[in-house]
Copies of this chain bind each other. A is one copy, B any other.
Amino acid sequence: MTLAPSSRVQLTEDGKLRHFLTTEHLPRSLLEDILDTAASFVDVGGRSIKKVPLLRGKTVVNLFFESSTRTRSTFELAAQRLSADVLNLDIAKSATSKGETLLDTLRNLEAMAADMFVVRHQDSGAPFFIANEVTPNVAVINAGDGRHAHPTQAMLDMYTIRHYKGGFEGLKVAIVGDILHSRVARSQVHALNTLGAEEVRLIGPKTLLPVDAEALGATVFTDMAHGLKDVDVVIMLRLQKERMDSALLPSEGEFFRLYGLNNEKLQYAKEDAIVMHPGPINRGVEIASEVADGPRSVILNQVTFGIAVRMAVMSMAISGQDSAPAGGAHGS
């Protein structure tokens, strides 16, 4: 089995998930495994006792170099429902770790017998660096790194699409907004292509579209009328307000007029198109309330599926670590 560079870190020698860092270069069968495993966890959220003992006695460390209450909460809930013990480390706010190198922080947590690091970092690539450095029996999950990747978000989006559309065959998917700075968009494009979507479209103002869109396997559009034409799925991205000031973007009002999703623009899409958003939504900026709260919005279902997808990835990575021969696929 020959693996692309990033999958070499992510998979054991026999192709099981050991870290989850990016959706890129992973085989279709593995992405489908994640979706199938998540399906079994969706039920857990509906049970009276929302808990399975899969990670009992395991220590999950939420290692957040960039604060994010929402993302941290979803991983914390997923870990609790897998019966893991959770340690929240908000490195961004911690004074103690200052002056200590990242590697020393990692080595210390490993020495405390942590089993998993859920890593959020402002720098692209940080979770890769960490995954390459950790001891063989620690799994690393990327909870968002710089502009690079947010693979659990992308996989919950894939779960949502498969749930509502039955599969990816023949699907046209549009991703709308600030594509250039979006780690979510990059992870979505990779996953959609691997899973066999027919067409992935990126829609936004020229200044917010990536130059390598075609290499990514996507088509770019600068207007909604053409971009949304006959799509099955519309994924709106959150507009980071801090970009506004940077002259890359027109005003909020202008952006909404051109790219904000309202019922009028939604008519370009197929009649049964679903509308998605990674949250938290800016009402009246990238999406109108009539759409966010309308019958085609599946935004809250994404959140529900998100817990299940995170449970799936966490349990698969722990199980991949357990099955790997100590030191086996490590360090390449």
Contact = CB atoms under 8 A, between A and B. Distances in A.
A80 interface: yes
A67 interface: yes
B77 A87 contact: yes
Interface stretch (A51-59, A221-229, A254-262): A51-59
A89 B68 CA distance: 11
Given A48-B322, A113-B46, A280 B97 contact: yes
Nearest to A301: B111
A232 B64 CA distance: 39
Contacts of A306: 112
B97 A70 contact: yes
A213 interface: no
Question: How extensive is the interface on chain A, given as a class?
Answer: 35 or more
Contact of A73 (B80, B112, B304): B112
A50 interface: yes
Contact of A96 (B46, B70, B101): B70
Contacts of A87: 73, 76-77, 80
Nearest to A71: B96
Contacts of A80: 59, 85, 87
Contact of A85 (B81, B95, B112, B241): B81
A163 interface: no
A97 B70 CA distance: 8
A318 to B, nearest CB: 10
A94 B69 CA distance: 7
Contacts of A69: 89, 94-97
Given A49-B57, A50-B57, A89 B112 contact: no
Contacts of A57: 47-51, 81
Interface string A72-106: 01101100110001010100001111011100110
B56 A51 contact: yes
Contact of A58 (B50, B282, B301, B307): B50
Interface string A136-148: 0000000000000
A279 interface: yes
Given A67-B95, A99-B280, 7 more contacts: A45-B113, A46-B113, A51-B85, A57-B81, A67-B96, A100-B280, A111-B304
15 contacts: A48-B57, A49-B57, A50-B113, A69-B89, A69-B94, A69-B97, A70-B108, A73-B112, A77-B87, A80-B85, A80-B87, A96-B280, A100-B281, A101-B283, A113-B304
